[in-house]
Amino acid sequence: MADPQIVGWAHSKFGKSEAPSTRELMAEVVGPALDHAGVSAGDVDGIFVGVYNNGFSRQDFQGALVGMACEGLDHVPAVRLENACSTGSAAINTAMDFIAAGRGRIALVVGAEKMTGVPTAEAGDILLSASFREEEADVAGGFAGLFGRIAANYFQRHGDRSHELAMIAAKNHHNGLANPYAHMRKNFSVEFCDTVSEKNPLVAAPLRRTDCSLISDGAAALVLADAETAAGLSRAVAFRARRQVNDVLALSRRDPIAFEGARRAWSGALESAGLQLDDLDLVETHDCFTIAELIEYEAMGLAAPGEGYRVVREGTTQRGGRLPVNLSGGLKSKGHPIGATGVSMHVMAAMQLCGEAGEMQLPGASLAGVFNMGGAAVANYVSILERAK
């Protein structure tokens, strides 16, 4: 059976929200997503919720909250997924399997997170639950500290690439100016991003504040339908391929800068799609930290290991480059509400393919790649999307 297709979506503003919990955040996107798809709550056969939580809220059992967010969904089967920072992609893939297995024709996927309701230090500790605590819980700087280690390891092996990380940060912030949903719509120069200062201090050396994604609140939703149902609706975005590949959780038991799981996910998805990387028009990739985006260039095949800086220097991933990356502003500008991130990335790509991306729009976009990862490149998801209708 053909993979289900994306037929509608909705996206909240990311940032520090006045919404008190994920229930209210979900309510912001559920109704609009159904309306955008042209379906009703009574058409939905299954609900798949991505929320990381792990201490951001005392309320869990969050799959059940969607039934309280929109009238008519209270008796629809619902389940909550969690897979660290790839929680949203886990929800999407599970919903797709549900439809592909013939258990339903229409599924609603909702990703949400309320992160700003706890102190920053507590949020950092919660995020460390996406690491191997037995060995990594005492890393200074929390999860940023883990990626600081990854950056230091990369620099030791391949040379100091702080300047290129600053270029990535500046690129994504510039792109984010065009995204009305972005947490931080503010332009930063390469010079500012490359200079340690009171406004841009070191967070986890060698990573500066501008190298780190934001603690955000937000939600995003997708409506998925089988191909037959999608053919009767206004729009449809197909999955040319989708692939998940895991890697070892403990950084001590693998090469932490190889991103081997990401590389395998990309190569497997492209092979399944019958495409080369150059066939893609754009990519939304997981820039939780700028060093992650740099290594992901190498994992997706834009450069050999250690050569990712060339991609940055040559402008390959700029808006006017050969393969624009993170036209949405990425996690760096858009924000990173954990459970919403994977859903948001797919929404951003689908908007581009359907010509509904507003000021972000890349003219003529027909093929998009999405890479969403959980933890330090542990759970790796790649989707290759194309417009079907």
Reply yes or no on whether the pLDDT at 96 is more than 70. yes
pLDDT mean over 193-219: 97
Model pLDDT for residues 124-168, shown as the tens digit of each residue: 899 999 999 999 988 888 899 999 999 999 999 999 999 999 999
pLDDT bin (cut points 50, 70, 90) of residue 172 is very high
pLDDT bin (cut points 50, 70, 90) of residue 190 is very high
In terms of Cβ atoms closer than 10 Å to its own Cβ (0-12, 13-18, 19+), residue 364 is exposed
Q: Which of the residues 85, 212, 288, 354 is marked catalytic?
A: 85
- What's residue 1's pLDDT? 58
pTM score: 0.98
pLDDT mean over 276-282: 98
Would strands 46-50 and 367-374 be described as parallel, antiparallel, or unpaired?
Answer: unpaired
Portion of the chain with pLDDT greater than 90, in percent = 96
pLDDT bin (cut points 50, 70, 90) of residue 105 is very high
pLDDT bin (cut points 50, 70, 90) of residue 2 is confident
Model pLDDT for residues 296-313, shown as the tens digit of each residue: 999 999 999 999 999 999
336 catalytic residue (yes or no): yes
* Residue-range domains of the chain with CATH: 5-118+216-230 (3.40.47.10)
Q: Provide the mean pLDDT of the chain.
A: 97
Q: Which of the residues 11, 173, 336, 346 is marked catalytic?
A: 336
Reply yes or no on whether the pLDDT at 231 is more than 90. yes
pLDDT mean over 88-101: 98
85 catalytic residue (yes or no): yes
Portion of the chain with pLDDT greater than 70, in percent = 100
